[in-house]
Structure 1
Amino acid sequence: MAQRYYMQSLGLARESGIPGQDGFVMRTMSQQGMKLHPPEHCLALADTGWDRAKGRVDQQVEALFAVTHAHALAKTGQRQAALADVDRAYAALAAGADDEVPFWALVWGPPAATVHSRTAKVFETLGDRPNSARSYATAAASRPGATYARIIALDLVAQAEQQAKQGGIEQACATWSRAIDTMAGVRSARTLKAVRSLRSDLRPYRARGVRAAAELDEHARIFLTHHR
């Protein structure tokens, strides 16, 4: 069903005649596919989407294509090529600092924030947890809080997960607590699922008497009580 709607979206984008919008739909399909399908198919989508946008969109928008392509390359084990595309994305952001970004490229917030968040996923895929955590933190700090609270919260969740996997449980708990505070007023099945999973993940730390984990678990419990 999702694939069908994506294809309808692609058809509408082509009919619109807006330069780069069909490629942007392919970029989105590539990102969704990275969660569900073999990565080589996602790389082809990212490739084609970027080809349809090159020279037809402003630099900040092209940065979004470059960083998605980087993620697809990382998913297929092409480390150096992925990092090179991350550099291209940041160069495009800098070159297009004064661009007026079209509304359809702002779905996930300012392009810089999206590039930081997707770069975090590139580093995560490559096993570079410190850089991944830093990029998620930068992404969360780069979005307007009132408008993008849900996405900020999910960036913070991802940052906390990277910190925990490095053994920094107290630091991770502090980040997770910020994420839960950011979720206040947000209605999202995904954020609720993340908080429920957190409580399960905290059990081993609570059993070891980690105070930060116990305090965070109580924070999460209270949150879920008010957001069922």
Structure 2
Amino acid sequence: MQLEVTINLQEPLVLPLNYNHIIQSIIYRALSAMPDYSEFLHEYGYGNGSRQYKMFQFSQLNGDYYVDQKHRKIVFRSYVSFEVRSPEPLLINLLAMSFQYQGITFGTMNCRDIHLELYDYTVEETELLIRMKTPLTVYSTDYDTRRTYFYSPEEPEFYQKIEDNFRRKYEAFYGVRPFQPITLTYIGEELPQKLVTRYQGSYINAWYGTYKLSGKRKYLDFLYQTGLGSKNAQGFGMFEIN
């Protein structure tokens, strides 16, 4: 399911340029309307071995804004909007209920003039041309040095890591492993735009771009709801269908 959120602002909303953790906190705070579910999702998630998946994703903020480069801030003037997706209807409905009745709080600013749109779009194709709405990231961490390496679309490991992530994530949610692979292919002669951002003290390398995504219909639909690659619940891996 998908939830589109539009906030009409009574005063300017000033946020840091790296605001992903703020949106994630807003989502967890809204889910606390059902404490047991919120605690499960925040502390554990859907597990597969040592990995846990939250099974939601969110877009970047859109709206009427300008960037204050001097102070590293983004300022939304009249409205701001974002999208949340999840394969779990409970999560989306809890968010909608909480936003409607409690509003959305940024720091000390509580926003009440909110317009919500719920959708239940499902993918019906086995091959998609997609464009990343939020950048795509996959990585590996050396367990001895704890150093993290982020892969780029020019490396074969980039696509294998995305396939591996899909398999683990799908099994964590449904309890069964997918029996066919998904395939992602970059469309373009030059490397896509790279984004280096900071999330709570850690740097993340991620990539935009246009890709071809192939696989069973239900697998592609699952990825549409959950996102491609890693760190979906931190604001990475959301795509739109061209």
Could you state the TM-score of these two structures normalised by the residue count of structure 2? 0.24
Higher helix content, 1 or 2: 1
Question: Whose RCO is larger (CA < 8 A, sep 6+)?
Answer: 2
TM-score (norm 1): 0.25
